[in-house]
Amino acid sequence: MFFFAYAMVPIYDVLCDITGFNGKTGTVETEKQYQVNEERLVSVSFFAATSSGFPVQFAPKISSMEVVPGKFYTTSYIAKNTTDEVIYGQAIPSVAPTDAALHFKKLECFCFVKQKFEPNEEVEMTLRFVIEPEMDEWIQDVSLSYNFYKLDS
């Protein structure tokens, strides 16, 4: 049972990947074609947060947008290093509600790799995503939130 506690780690990750529990988002490799219903609109809100001890100003460029499921959209987040030192960070995404997380797919995201911020540098980091049309009809609002954590290198 001691090792079972450790086995919970991969089990938990796989379960979250399959079900979208915990707001973990998925990725798509290519810009594939979906069945698009132009009439349907979903509102996506963007949020940003930084963990304590991470001296970077971090905010979405626009706070929300209306999207059609099945179409790809691009938006960006702005980050500004407020110190005279080089800072490394990693953004962790989370999507609510849970049922939307499964169908929120990213083609490109600054959260895929760790970010390096030069002293006093301001960067615009892009994000390209699609909401799959298979997402439940009752979901009309989706929230995407990033939390930035400091890395040592």
Residues that bind other proteins (CB under 8 A): 1-6, 8-9, 12, 19, 21-23, 51, 90, 92, 96, 98-99, 147, 149-151
Length of the chain: 153
> From the CB of 5, what's the least distance to other proteins, in Å?
2
Q: Which is nearer to other proteins, 4 or 66 (CB)?
A: 4
Q: Which is nearer to other proteins, 5 or 39 (CB)?
A: 5
> From the CB of 26, what's the least distance to other proteins, in Å?
16
Question: How far apart, in whole angstroms, are the C-alpha atoms of residue 11 and residue 63?
Answer: 35
Question: How far apart, in whole angstroms, are the C-alpha atoms of residue 42 and residue 82?
Answer: 35
**Cα separations (Å) of 64 from 6, 34, 81, 117?**
39, 23, 24, 25
> From the CB of 98, what's the least distance to other proteins, in Å?
4
